[in-house]
Every structure is written in C-alpha cells, then in structure tokens.
Chains A and B, each alone.
Chain A
Amino acid sequence: MGSRKLLLEKAHVPGIRGYDVYRREGGYRSVEKALKTMSPDQVTEEVKKSGLRGRGGAGFPTGMKWSFLAKPEGVPRYLVCNADESEPGTFKDRYLMEFLPHLLIEGLIVSSFALGSKSTYIYIRGEYAWIPDILEQAIAEAKNNGWLGKNILGTGFDCEIYVHRGAGAYICGEETALIESLEGKRGNPRIKPPFPAVKGVWDCPTVVNNVETLAAVVPIINEGGEAYSKIGVGKSTGTKLLSACGNINKPGVYEIDMTISVEEFIFSDEYCGGIPNGKRLKACIPGGSSVPILPANLLLKTAKGETRIMNYESLSDGGFAKGSMMGSGGFIVLDEDQCVVRNTLTLARFYRHESCGQCSPCREGTGWMEKILKNIEYGKGKSSDIDLLWDIQRKIEGNTICPLGDAAAWPVAAAIRHFRDEFEWHVANPIASQNRNFGLAHYADPLEVVPA
C-alpha cells in the first residue's frame, strides 16, 4: 500500500498547473478557512501543532520559527520563500513549482497571513530560468480571482507575491545569504545574531522558509495541525518529498509518509525500483550531498541491527559515526561500480566552487581538500593525505560563519570514515585505480550487531 499523499496527490490531474483545475480540485480552501475563520496566531498555532519541520535541510520546527518573528509596531514584516534549491541530489522544490505552482502560492498566502507579510518574495535559483514564468502566471491568476492584492476576501488583509530570480550561487540557499542577495548584494552570509526574525531583509523582521515547507501549510490548515501530526512517526510528522537519483531504475520525486524503510524505498517498484542492470547497492547519500554517505550495510540497518526507516530520527540513528541525516531529501544511490573517491572529489569541487570566500577556513580549506582528493583520485596521492584530509575537514567544521563549511566537511569526513580502505587502495594502487574501481568490497556485508 502506498503511503498517504498530501502534496502530490493531484500532481497528475491534467491541467492542475492552471487555476481553474486547481480550484475545482479543492484548491485555495485553506486560504478561505484561514482568512475567514482564523486569526494569524491561530494559523501559527496549527502549524506548531502539526510538528512540521523545515524541509530545506535543517529540519527546524516551522511553527517555532514563526513564533520567533519580532512584531514591532509600524515596521513591515516579510516572508521569503526559499526556492534556491541547489543541494546536489535535490530537485523536489522544482517539481512542486513546475507542476503545482498554485499549491505553493496558496501556502504562501496562508503563511503571509499568519506572519503579517504584505509583500512576500519567492527567491528562486537563477538556473530554474523557466519557472518564474510559471509562478508569475499562477500569481496573476490568483490575483485575478481575488486571492491576492488588496483586501483579500474582504478581510482587510493585503498581500502581494513577487518572484526574485537569483543568478547562480548555492550559498544563497543559506537564509542570510539569500537575504543579502534579495537586497541586490553578493551572497555573503551574515554573522548572526541578529537573526532574520529580528533583522532580516531591509533590516525588517523576516521569516525564510523552504518551498515544500510552505506548501505543507496547505494540508495542515485544511486538515488541522493535529491530524497532520498523526501522519508519520515521532517527531517526523506529515509527509516528505524525496528526490531520488543516482543509480536507480526510477529516479524522480516521491512523497512518503516517513514510515517506510530505506530498503523498500530503494527496491520497491512504487519508488526507486531497484538498481539498474542487476548491480548491487554500494552506498547512499540519503539527504542531499552534504549529509554523511553510508555504506549499504549501515544504510539498510542501523548499528543496532534495526531496520532503517526513511525519517529524521531513524536516518540519524547512530549519530555521525554510524548514521546520516534526512537533510533536504536528496537521495543519491551509488551502485557497486561507483568510486567513492571520485564521488567525494566532485562534491569537494562543488563546495569549493560555491564557497562565498568570506571566512578563511571555508575559503582556503575547501580548495585544499579538492586538490588533495584530486591527487588521490588521479593516482598521485600519499598515504598521509588521508589523515591530512581528515584534519582539514575537522578544522573547517564548526569554525565558519555559515553551515557551508560543515556541508563541505561532512561528505569528506564520512567518506573517509566508512570507505577508508577504498582511499588507501587508491593510494597503494595508483595505476590500477586509473583503470578500474575498488568495487563493492565488503560494504554490503552484514554488520555485527553491537548490543545497545
């Protein structure tokens, strides 16, 4: 049985991208309900009750974030939708915006009402160049039908939504860099405090939320926070969009209710459909490129020998030593023919390319790691390089202004932690490593269960 769908339920209804079909299918009910029967604080309360956690990667409780928003008299407040989806492996927000633009607009209107934002901005990554047209059309349709503009539904609430296109910078997914970029500046993250909830865009209180988070507000208001919180398990409530990619038969965007196992997600026909060409599973990065990579044996079962489930708690079971993270839901699968060193190199290159250059550990350390990994990958590595890499990532992690430093350090750390022998093999076999890969080795062998 498939899991419950709250966001993508109507994704395949023909014409759902247009207003008429969307409305006919029950769209904009949550706006009616919120604006006509609830106060802004009640909306926030429902979101709190729902247990919704930020879907951008950090997983911070959304209702709590909203309640931190400062509300000084006479100062405008802003809601900014973070559509700067750039974490390698992640393409779920793109799917939502491309196929269900009205769902996002609906979520934005309700959320803007809750937060008191009269001008709401969608900051979208520049490379998604065709999506602003889709969103702007949806905004125009919503406005024509009275869901946006002045005095919406006669409630006195005014709201406009604008699309702001970025221009190619992963760092702008970090909320303060996004704010800087929205102000027309370089995407240098700000030093916190002050937090955006107090001093955000144009120095006004600001909430920045991910696309999927804001879309999830729609079912929360429609069904009630309590009902939403009953879907899923523990603190992983509701449904989560996952974008699956890499070596699988059915890459794409899936909605899950966070109760299915990782194994089912990879191998069932409803989701990824297994690995092509009969290859075996070697490793997986379950939550976007910055979360720790896990070998097959630690991915499918936790160190305690329990089945790993696709949710926040279970994926992080075992901490960084034996677990990973749900992250942004970018699910990257590596089959037995893949080289972990090469994969790590491409990610290190990515983070070096995307470092804003503001603070020294990240600016210098990301480039250094890339150079060493390049040496190892191309048969010029030394055995001391592996320890050096470990030490560099350690000196970046936690010491930078924004989480990009951590995001750059973690993939390197996890690759060495779990695949050290593959790195050593590269160093010891500089010629052979240019012609073939290390292969599956023991990475899928059942692990000895350490009793808790």
Chain B
Amino acid sequence: MADEKKLFKVTIDNITIEVEPGTSILQAARKIGGDVAPPAMCYYTKLKGSGGKCRTCLVEVASGSTADPRPMPKLVASCRTNVMDGMVVKNITSEKVIDARNGVVEMLLINHPLDCPICDQAGECHLQDLSYEHGKEGTRYEFERRTFKKHDLGPYIQLHMTRCILCYRCVFTADQLTEKRVHGVLDRGDHSEIATYIEKSLENDFIGNIIDVCPVGALTDKTFRFKNRVWFLNPVDAHRDCSHPKCSGKVTLWYRGEEVFRVTARKDQWGEVEDWICNECRFEKKATADWTIEGPTKVNRHSVISQGHYVGVVRPQEALYDVMGGRAPRLLMDIHDVSEVNRPEIDLSKLERPAHSTDFESNGADRPTK
C-alpha cells in the first residue's frame, strides 16, 4: 500500500512523539525513555495478557484525544491503555500520579519480608528499584507480615512465596511457553499464592524462564542459590548452538573470575527477556567451553551490577589523621599478621573487574591487571 500509515501524536510529560496506533501509553513513554517511562512490575511485553495488576504504572490522562479532549476521570494503567491521537498524558508531572504510586509501593511492601540481605535477587530486584525510586522511607505498617508455607518446585527453581507480589508473569510464562502448566495462583485476596496445590516439581524444559520474568526474589535459580552476589559478577554475552528448536541459545553468562556462576537470558533496558532460553542452557551449561563469548554485557550505569567494574574508583580521603589531630592511630593488631586473605600489596582498584579469590593466591599480585 502506498498510503503512509497514520501515526498518533501523544504528549507525555510535555514531550510529544508519534507512535503507531495500538501502542500503549507505557510503550510510548518507553520510546521517550528516562524517567518519563512509568515503572512496571507486572506488565511484560512478551507475555500476552500481562499487566494492569500491580498499579505502579498508573498515569493521568489529562486529555483523551483531539477528538474527545476530556480528561479521564481516574488514573489509568499505562500498560493496558492505548494512546489516541492527540492524547495528553502526565506521569512524573502529575502530583496525583506520584501520590498514588507512592501508595502502591507502600502496599507492595507492607507484607514483603524485606529480606534483601539474604535474597539472591538483591541488586537486580525491580521491587528494590521501585521502592528506592518511588517509595517513602520507613513504614507505617505495624502488624505481623504475611508468611506462607514453604513449597517445593523441584530441583531447579526455588519459590519464596513471601516475596511474591502476584504479578502473574510466571503463570503467563508457563501458559504461553510450555504445553502444560502445573503451577498457578491459588486461593484469593491477601492470601493468594503461587503454588502447584499438591507439591509437584516444575519440569517443562522451558520453565526456567519463570525465574527471569519474576520481578522479585520469589522465583530464583537453585543452581545459583547463595553462591554469590550479582554485583560481584561480571555479565558477558554469549551464545551456543542449542539443539532445542525453541531455544535461542543467546544468553548472559555471569562470571566471577573464570567461573560461570549462573546463566540467564539476555535482558533489555527494561529488564525484559530478549529471547527465551531452555533449561539445559540455563542450568547445565556452566563452562566457558560450552559457549561462544561475544563480549561484556552492557549494564546500565545506575545498576549496582556496574559497580563491579573497579576502574577509576577514587580512594576516599583518609580522615582519621585529621580527627586525631595529626596523630597516627595505635595499631593493636595488624590483620595481615594473622590473615593471608587481605594482602596490602594487592590494590583492588587496579583491577578492571571484580576481585576473585585467585587474585589473592600466591602469584595473584603478579597477574596482569588489564
């Protein structure tokens, strides 16, 4: 067809862009990018039917369209509301939105265990990011938090129901990626839970993807459990010729030193999986030899994971001498006399990567620090 497709003009936080009809407000805002893009805890581009539930992406529609410029009476879920031509949307420029989002974050947190220090998701948890960016300090909730009975999902996947925010993404994933769903949302209201009812392990060879779609630490990789912190790891893109017809074989390998600690699908800047991978790639292929390395994964500099690159770290000024009026502190015991772990001659700031135990081995100091 010669006709050019008519595009819709939409203005979000005073920035106007043109998008194709059928685009959601959220996707339009993501095109603009930055802070204009509302946070999304349940919506997932690749999962049909997802979204609308968490309410973090609520925005104000100040004008419905050129044809019908009336404002919408309530805030709308931007992930499930399509733009109209001439629509005017307010996200971070709306006090109403900021207030409501604040409320949603608080609701999501009141029953969350806040066990980040022992949670494998810490550092790449969307709920952490959300609370940091949109939440308030402290809590007004003074009651016992909800807990659930432990539920085993088999050898690969750990379920921590107390951390779940009921985004339903894992349910959609199982529905859309596997032939047979064996887990789902049981019960209702504030005691709804993700479970299999009678304990069953999740065995489909694509089920590992539910770990990647989980925005929090409710579903984590048992083969990686308690092994490391994500911010100590170096993500590297790699691929392999996977024999599974549906598997892309494109992954991110998470290294510490020479060792691959875990394998995940690659994620885009919104934290969404780019291509699904099979369980074999994810759980069984943990040797560099299994993969063709493409190069370091681009990590957003705001992410804690980027902190693993030590290059350019400036040593903070020593304040102790000032505090003590120029006197040097008296050392009661020099740790280096008793421990071989911390070696003063090894300067971690010279490493272009996270430190690894091999750096402290006898010849560690002599290794090139490229």
Which B residues lie within 8 Å of A394 (CB)? 103
B55 in contact with A352 (CB, 8 Å): no
Chain B hits for A357, CB < 8 A: 166, 185, 187-192
What distance in Å separates the Cβ of A316 from its nearest Cβ neighbour in chain B? 16
Complex Cα gap A356–B166 (Å): 12
Residues in chain A near residue B51, CB distance under 8 A: 191
Minimum CB distance partner of B80 in chain A? A191
* Closest Cβ–Cβ distance, residue A114 to chain B (whole Å): 28
Are B108's CB and A360's CB within 8 A?
yes
Chain B residue at minimum C-beta to C-beta distance from A365: B107
Q: CB-CB contacts of B162-174 with A at 8 A, as 1s and 0s? A: 0001101000000
A364-381, CB < 8 A from B = 364-368, 371
B104 touches A399 (CB 8 A): yes
> Chain B's nearest CB lies how many Å from the CB of A11?
36
Give a binary string over B292-313; 1 marks a CB under 8 Å from any A CB, 0 the rest: 0000000000000000000000
CB of A86 to closest CB in B, whole Å: 14
A364/B52 contact (C-beta < 8 A), A395-B103, A398-B74, A398-B75 known: no
Nearest B residue to A392 by beta-carbon distance?
Answer: B103
**A48, CB-defined interface residue at 8 Å:** no
Contact A395 B107 (CB under 8 A): yes
Name the interface residues of B91-126: CB closer than 8 Å to any CB of A: 99-100, 102-104, 106-108, 110-111
With CB as the reference atom, state the residue of chain B lying closest to A356: B188
Knowing A191-B80, A388-B140, A399-B103 are in contact, say whether A363-B110 is a contact too (CB < 8 A): no
| B185 and A355 form a contact (CB under 8 A) | no
Name 8 extra pairs, CB < 8 A, besides A360-B108, A388-B140.
Answer: A191-B51, A352-B189, A355-B188, A355-B189, A360-B54, A364-B111, A368-B110, A395-B106
A353 at the binding interface (Cβ < 8 Å): yes
Contact of B53 among A368, A396, A401 (CB under 8 A): A401
Nearest A residue to B41 via CB reads A360
A352 contact set on B, CB distance < 8 A = 189-190
- Residue pair A363, B189 in contact (C-beta under 8 Å): yes
Provide the B130-149 mask, 1 if CB < 8 A to any CB of A, else 0.
00000000001101000000
- Per-residue interface assignment for chain A, residues 347 to 363, with 1 indicating a CB less than 8 Å from any chain B CB and 0 otherwise: 00000111111111101
* Chain A, 152-169, CB within 8 A of any chain B CB: 169
Q: Are A364 and B107 in contact (CB under 8 A)?
A: yes
Give chain B's interface residues, CB within 8 Å of chain A. Answer: 51-56, 58, 74-75, 77, 80, 99-100, 102-104, 106-108, 110-111, 140-141, 143, 165-166, 168, 185, 187-192
Interface residues of chain A: helix, strand, loop or mixed (majority) = helix
CB-defined A-B contacts under 8 Å, sample of 14: A191-B51, A352-B190, A355-B190, A357-B188, A358-B53, A360-B53, A360-B54, A360-B107, A360-B166, A361-B103, A395-B102, A396-B103, A398-B74, A399-B55
Neighbour of B55 across the interface among A353, A355, A360, A371, CB < 8 A: A360
Interface size on A, residues (CB 8 A): 28
A358 in contact with B166 given A191-B52, A399-B103 (CB within 8 Å): yes
CA distance A388 to B99 in the complex (A): 15
A442 within 8 A of B: no
Indicate if the CB atoms of B188 and A186 lie closer than 8 Å.
yes
In this assembly, does A249 line the interface, its C-beta being within 8 Å of a C-beta of chain B? no
Q: Mark A215-229, 1 if CB is under 8 A from B, else 0.
A: 000000000000000
Q: Are B192 and A363 in contact (CB under 8 A)?
A: yes
Q: Please judge, given known A-B contacts A186-B188, A191-B80, whether A359 and B103 are in contact too, CB under 8 Å.
A: no
Q: Are A353 and B189 in contact (CB under 8 A)?
A: yes
Q: When chains A and B are docked, how far (Å) is the Cα of A258 from the Cα of B104?
A: 40
Question: For the complex, is A338 an interface residue (Cβ under 8 Å from B)?
Answer: no
A400 touches B55 (CB 8 A): yes
Residues of A within 8 A of B190 (CB): 352, 355, 357, 363-364, 366-367
Bound-state CA distance A367–B140 (Å) is 14
Q: Closest chain B residue to A192 by CB distance?
A: B80
A191 touches B77 (CB 8 A): yes
Instruction: Verify A359–B100 contact, CB threshold 8 A.
Output: no
- A346 to chain B minimum Cβ distance, whole angstroms, is 16
A177 to chain B, nearest CB (A): 11
Q: How far is the CA of A338 from the CA of B65 in the complex (A)?
A: 50
Residue on A nearest B143 in the bound complex, by CB:
A371
Q: Cα distance A359–B43 when bound, in Å?
A: 12
Residue on A nearest B101 in the bound complex, by CB: A399
Give CA–CA (A186, B189) in the complex, Å: 12
Which B residues are in CB contact (< 8 Å) with A365?
Answer: 107
Contact of B52 among A368, A388, A401 (CB under 8 A): A401
A37 to B222, CA, bound (A): 71
Chain A residue numbers with a CB within 8 Å of B106 are: 395
Tell me the complex Cα distance, A356–B103, Å. 19
Nearest CB to that of A370 among chain B residues? Answer: B190
Q: How far is the CB of A33 from chain B (nearest CB, A)?
A: 38
Q: How distant is A224 from chain B, measured CB to nearest CB, in Å?
A: 34
Among B53, B106, B143, B188, the most chain A Cβ lie within 10 Å of the Cβ of B188
Once the chains are docked, how many angstroms separate the CA of A395 from the CA of B97? 11
Query: In the bound complex, how far is the Cα of B156 from the Cα of A435, in angstroms?
Result: 56
A359 to B168 Cα, complex, angstroms = 10
Q: In the A-B complex, list the 9 residue pairs whose CB atoms are closest, starting with the nearest.
A: A395-B103, A191-B52, A357-B192, A364-B107, A355-B189, A367-B190, A357-B189, A398-B74, A360-B107
Contact A364 B108 (CB under 8 A): yes
Cα A367 to Cα B190 with chains together (Å): 7
In Å, the complex CA distance between A139 and B45 comes to: 47
With A371-B143, A399-B104 in contact, is A356–B55 under 8 Å at CB? Answer: no
Closest A residue to B106 by CB, please name it. Answer: A395
Residue of A nearest to B186 (CB): A186
Q: Is the CB of B189 within 8 A of A366?
A: yes
- In the assembled complex, the CB of A310 is this many whole angstroms from the nearest CB of chain B, namely 27
Smallest Cβ distance from B232 to chain A, in angstroms? 32
Residues in A with CB closer than 8 Å to B143 are: 368, 371
Which residues of chain B are within 8 angstroms of A186 by Cβ–Cβ distance? Answer: 185, 188
Q: Assess whether A399 is in contact with B110, with CB atoms less than 8 Å apart.
A: no
Closest to A171 in B: B188
Could you say which of A364, A368, A388, A399 has the most chain B C-beta atoms within 10 Å of its C-beta?
A364
Are B104 and A360 in touch, CB under 8 angstroms? yes
Given A191-B51, A191-B52, A398-B75, also A361-B107 (CB < 8 A): yes
* B52 nearest CB neighbor, chain A only: A191
